[in-house]
Structure 1
Amino acid sequence: MTEPIVRVYTRFAEVEAPPKSRVYADVAARVADDPRMLGFLAELPPQKWQPNLFFSAVQYLCGPVPDWPWFRTRFAERTDEIREVMLARRTQTNEPARCATLLPALAQLPQPLALLEVGASAGLCLQPDRYGYDYGRVTIPGPLTLRCHANDATPLPSRTPEVVWRAGLDLNPVDVTNADDCAWLEALIWPGEEERLPRLRAALELAKQDPPPVRRGDLRADFASLAREAPRDATLVVFHTAVLIYVREAAERVAFAESVRAAGAVWLANEASPVIPGVEIEDHPADFLLARDGRPLGWTDSHGTWINWL
């Protein structure tokens, strides 16, 4: 019964975590070999098996994870509370630096833009026009500078896009004015990536000045009605990052892509390549693929630190 969970945590330990967090890679490997923790996870719904959800729940309650012995002790002490957090919360990493990998694609579109993000979390990626950017050979000033390495093929813009409308859709929107919600976003940052924390806090402060509107809803059922609210004299851009992986049925992902096309929108997907409908390209397991209307544009870091345009 725990074999699928072992596979999830082994893959996380061997593929997903090592480039970003040696602590999480080690903890995941140990969880995959710990009967008590595997039994704990097996009692949860399959969508709650995610390592990032489990580890973030511990960080939310107990603080940053330093190593396996500490994690094992905290788990034993607070098992029931960890379960409650995992059942109540979702993995809603809202990394504003992802805007740096979206910006080259956004800048190529007819302006102005109407942005609609599905799986928007707190909406921090709905404000690409409110940040500054540093790509090395090109810089764009702003109150929060997002640094991103871009290869020579990347078409770097000289200014931020003109956004006249923005809206988000999320199963459980994160309120940027709620301290507990903000603490949860901080808990989603992995050990070894603490440099992301000041950036997240700065982006939250910007968002509090004019909170991006994020509506509660499911992309499979509520996307079309929200898309109809966008102004018709702007280019409607529907985008998402690390969202389709949670839509388990391939048919539902295809149906979503068709609904985006039916809305007449430009579709920007920044996801693991196998979950983007219609894309045929050799997978890079640890990277995301940025695609426009199903056409690959470039490989990206899941947290926005680099982009390699194809």
Structure 2
Amino acid sequence: MSRGHFYADGDIAEIYRWFAAEAAATSPTWQAVSEWVARTASIADRLAGLPGMKRQPQLFLAALRRLDAPLTPGPALEGWIAHHWDAVQRTILTHSTQTNEVGRCAVHLPLLAGLAAESGPIALVEVGSSAGLCLLPDAYAYRYRFDDRPELTLGAGTPVIPCRISGATPEQVTYASPAIAWRCGIDTAPLDPTDPEVAAWLRALIWPGQAEREDRLAAALATATALGAATGRPPVPVVTGDALEALPDVVAEARRHADTVVVMHTATLSYVSRDRRARFGALVGGLGARWISCEGERVVPEVRDRLASGTYDGPPCFVLALDGRPLARVGQHGGWIDWL
């Protein structure tokens, strides 16, 4: 059995049909373009020639957006791609899928706050931190809407991130701003949130039709820039490197600042091989850190094997887990939490 990755090993038409289904609920534009790619041999053949993980739809589609391609499927788009293929390919090869969706902070926050309430201020490490925006959960404001209690607003920063809550809240969860003593990211290619080109690429990664996400990104970038200007240094330190290699040293440094170290990642392990996913869980456990994962339900082996049996038929989601134990299904870009 292959131990690689669907994006690297799969048939392009199959990959894009799958992605079209993923995008259907929230981006009709990407659904239509992906379905068109799946049935257009001239485009599929070009994409098949890309190396490894560069074949992922998110990169190609973001490149189209960044380069102002016409996004209506058909001859005009096919001709545009043929004429601009060198620029499209160069953008794909020199960039990564590093979506920094701060809406996800709303689903991280209750677990982070619960851990801080239990043990005091935490040291927060994010794997796949991109521009580091999700390492600043205490800098934003939140609006939680519940099925069984009044709405709760937390924080006074920007953006204001909405989140709908359903299901019974677990005991280890606290709806509050977490006390964070120290924070650090790990990324193979960190992004500078103050760089206009970085901002443009992060915007291109947002799916068409999601204006609320674009506004949230702009507000978070402004917050990060202001924090950096106030301190005269980057708002969040980020270590450049491979997570499996860099994590032990980063966790060791984190322990100098707090008794509880939390390692967090969202939509990160889905971009690495199955072998590396399995090694990651064992590594975090061996370091004695608390582990918050937020990935597709089959991505993290420890979480997948502990999910209740049965077929999930709701909207596309991630599974939020603490130390490998699934606690909730959540919106892929934040927005909702359904506690299990």
What's the TM-score bracket when you normalise by the shorter of the two chains?
over 0.9
Q: Which residue of 2 aligns with 1:138?
A: 152
Q: 143-152 vs 154-163, which deviates more?
A: 154-163
How far 1:140 moved relative to its partner? Answer: 0.6
**Across the two proteins, how many residue pairs are aligned to each other?**
307
Residue 276 and residue 142 in structure 1: after superposition, are their counterparts in 2 closer, same or farther (change >3 A)? same
* Alignment pair present for 1:294 and 2:324: yes
Residues 36-70 of structure 1 deviation map (CA, whole Å, 9 limit, x = unaligned): 1111111111311111110101111116x642245
Matches of 1:199 and 1:72, distance apart in 2: 32
Q: Which residue of 1 aligns with 2:4?
A: none
How far 1:158 moved relative to its partner? Answer: 4.5
The one of 39, 43, 48 aligned to 2:45: 39
Matches of 1:71 and 1:54, distance apart in 2: 13
How far 1:113 moved relative to its partner? Answer: 1.0
Residue 297 and residue 158 in structure 1: after superposition, are their counterparts in 2 closer, same or farther (change >3 A)? closer
What secondary structure, in the 3-state scheme, does the structure 2 residue paired with 1:97 have?
Answer: helix
CA contact (8 A) 1:119 1:240 kept: yes
Matches of 1:276 and 1:4, distance apart in 2: 23
CA contact (8 A) 1:58 1:74 kept: no
What's the TM-score, normalizing by structure 1? 0.94
The one of 2, 8, 14 aligned to 1:7: 14
The one of 106, 120, 123 aligned to 1:114: 123
Unaligned stretches of 5+ residues in structure 2: 1-7, 146-150, 229-234
**Superposed structure 1 runs of 4+ greater than 6 Å apart:** none
Instruction: Please give the residue correspondences for 1:48-197 in structure 2 after superposition, counting only pairs within 5 Å.
Output: 48-62=54-68, 66-69=71-74, 71-109=77-115, 110-136=119-145, 137-144=151-158, 145-154=160-169, 157-197=174-214
CA contact (8 A) 1:111 1:161 kept: no
What secondary structure, in the 3-state scheme, does the structure 2 residue paired with 1:169 have?
Answer: strand
Matches of 1:129 and 1:294, distance apart in 2: 24
The one of 230, 234, 240 aligned to 2:259: 234
Residues 98-152 of structure 1 deviation map (CA, whole Å, 9 limit, x = unaligned): 0000111112112201000000000110011111110122111322111111114
* Alignment pair present for 1:202 and 2:219: yes
Residue type at the aligned position of 1:274: R
Matches of 2:177 and 2:13, distance apart in 1: 44
CA contact (8 A) 2:20 2:31 kept: yes
Q: Which residue of 2 aligns with 1:244?
A: 269
How far 1:234 moved relative to its partner? Answer: 3.2
Residues 246-296 of structure 1 deviation map (CA, whole Å, 9 limit, x = unaligned): 111x33212111111121100000000111121222575821000011100
Matches of 1:38 and 1:53, distance apart in 2: 14
What secondary structure, in the 3-state scheme, does the structure 2 residue paired with 1:288 have?
Answer: strand
Residues 137-182 of structure 1 deviation map (CA, whole Å, 9 limit, x = unaligned): 2111322111111114236744300111000001111111211111
Residue 2 and residue 240 in structure 1: after superposition, are their counterparts in 2 closer, same or farther (change >3 A)? closer
How far 1:74 moved relative to its partner? Answer: 3.0
Unaligned stretches of 5+ residues in structure 1: none
Residue 72 and residue 234 in structure 1: after superposition, are their counterparts in 2 closer, same or farther (change >3 A)? farther
Matches of 1:2 and 1:263, distance apart in 2: 32
What secondary structure, in the 3-state scheme, does the structure 1 residue paired with 2:265 have?
Answer: strand
Percentage of pairs with the same residue: 41
Q: 214-223 vs 146-155, which deviates more?
A: 146-155
